[in-house]
Amino acid sequence: MERILVGLLLLAGWFSLSTCRQYHFVNQSSTWSEALTHCRQTYTDLASISSVDENNELKKTLNSAGHSSDVRIGLYNEVDWKWSDGFSSSGADYRNWYTSAYDPDFIGANQFCVNIYQNGLWLDTECSSKLPFVCYIGTRLAREFVFVNKSTDWRSAQKYCRESYTDLATVSTDAENKKINNLTNKTLAWIGLFRDKKFSWSDGSSFQFSSWDNVMNEIGSMRIICGATSVTRSVAWKFLSCEKKLPFVCYSLPPEAKQAMKMTIESEDSVGLNNPALKANILKKLQDRLEAKGVSGVSLEWTEQAGRKQAEGDKGG
């Protein structure tokens, strides 16, 4: 087993060296989908960035093109607000955002939980902030609200509400919002609205590195927001409307990254590698390891050769 682990480490190192992306600045004002189409036709995809090294490569590309203002990258985020109790009937889309403060403003791309503020207005906030909260008891059709004046993060508030009452407060009408506002007495308090922290790259690679700009990302009523960056903001990332027209950056992969490779796995136990479950498990471990390193598009399979059994990796297939 020890040898197999060593093999995994070497393989992961080899791939992350060889998959460094080459970026290409395209000076054509485009929506995010127009940019995506262009990149897929001309290169590989819109720019995805999986490390600080790649982010610096992107910066070099923009600097040498002499472009300092916003450019699109392949990053996007679906905005899918949900209630803690899963409520999705009529009224589930009731909102009372503090729009004059630009909320939901998704500051620093790190605000996924919602609290109620003075005058019953809502703010998106970092889920780790410590705030009192509002639970409800009863059914989804006959809710009574309970204010819990203990400051805690959103997850712990949810747990508390589920243990002591029904769940964190679902708010589906103005009347309910006023009731809650009355209870909280102008204190900031969590309600049950939240969204998952789900960032995606257009090429499907896993999201593992981030370089957020600590700015407002005004979401408004958009259902999807698209990533942008600029050298004037030290290639830190933010979100803008996907419809806004901006120049963009594509990437391509150096050709050698598409080569197939072989690795040999030695087992001290001669019977071990004949066990199909063990073989499947080894492939899965290799695949997970590569995914964890951000290497996608790799297919692995076993081949047999002159009495030896090998796992083959074929990148780019």
Ligand X SMILES: *[C@@H]1O[C@H](CO)[C@@H](O)[C@H](O)[C@H]1NC(C)=O
Encoded one letter per residue, x for contact with ligand X by CB under 6 A and - for no contact, window 1-40 reads --------------------------x-------------
Residue 67 interacts with ligand X (CB under 6 A): yes or no: yes
Q: Does 305 bind ligand X (CB under 6 A)?
A: no
Closest CA to 73 of 87, 59, 86: 59
Whether the Cβ atoms of residue 218 and residue 42 lie closer than 8 Å to each other: no
The answer to whether 178 contacts ligand X (rule: CB under 6 A) is yes
CB of 28 vs ligand X, minimal distance in Å: 8
Residue 118 found at the interface with ligand X (CB under 6 A): no
Residue 41 or 64: the one with the smaller Cβ distance to ligand X is: 64
Out of 185, 214, 299, 303, name the contact with ligand X by CB under 6 A. Answer: 185
72 is a contact residue toward ligand X (CB under 6 A): no
Determine contact, residues 303/312, Cβ cutoff 8 Å.
Answer: yes
Classify strands 237-241 and 308-315 as parallel, antiparallel or unpaired: unpaired
Beta strand ranges found along the chain (DSSP E): 22-30, 45-46, 71-78, 82-83, 113-116, 122-125, 131-138, 143-152, 167-168, 189-194, 199-201, 224-229, 237-241, 246-252, 260-264, 298-305, 308-315
Complex with ligand X: residue 134 or 295, whichever CB lies closer: 134
d(CA 58, CA 208): 17
By CB under 6 A, tell whether 146 contacts ligand X. Answer: no
Binds ligand X by CB under 6 A, chosen from 88, 149, 164, 275:
149
Q: What value does the CA radius of gyration of the chain take, rounded to a whole number of Å? A: 25
Candidate residues 72, 140, 143, 179; the one interacting with ligand X per rule CB under 6 A:
179
DSSP string, 135-169: EEEE-SSSEEEEEEEEEE-HHHHHHHHHHHSSEEP
Between 11 and 62, whose beta carbon lies closer to ligand X?
62
Q: Which of 77/177 has CB closer to ligand X? A: 177
- Residues of this chain that interact with ligand X (CB under 6 A) are 27, 65-67, 149, 178-179, 182, 184-185, 187
